[in-house]
């Protein structure tokens, strides 16, 4: 049993105790690190989504400011605006 001699060494016992403390009981243990990594991954995905949404909104704002046809299209589709000589028919799907 050569392992018993090494396991009774004070330095080995201290190293094992320190490792157990860091891995399971400290504020930065493995479980909290794993949870934080998952949270970081989710936040990065959410960040990319919002970056794409901001770019889409910037394009829409640019088109609304510079393209009258696009402005008219949005006004007709979203706000149900019409010209004086037009009638609007709204079809509702079941």
Q: Torsions phi, psi of 92, nearest 5? A: -105, 125
Q: Has residue 77 got a pLDDT over 70?
A: yes
Q: Has residue 65 got a pLDDT over 80?
A: yes
Q: Has residue 6 got a pLDDT over 80?
A: no
Q: Torsions phi, psi of 18, nearest 5? A: -65, -40
């Amino acid at each position: 049993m050569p392992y018993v001699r090494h396991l009774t060494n004070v330095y080995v016992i201290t190293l094992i105790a320190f490792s157990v403390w860091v891995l399971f009981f400290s504020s930065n243990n493995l479980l909290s690190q794993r949870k934080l990594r998952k949270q970081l991954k989710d936040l990065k995905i959410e960040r990319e989504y919002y970056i794409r949404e901001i770019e889409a909104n910037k394009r829409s704002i640019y088109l609304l400011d510079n393209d009258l046809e696009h402005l008219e299209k949005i006004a007709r589709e979203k706000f149900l605006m019409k010209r004086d000589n037009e009638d609007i028919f709204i079809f509702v799907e079941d």
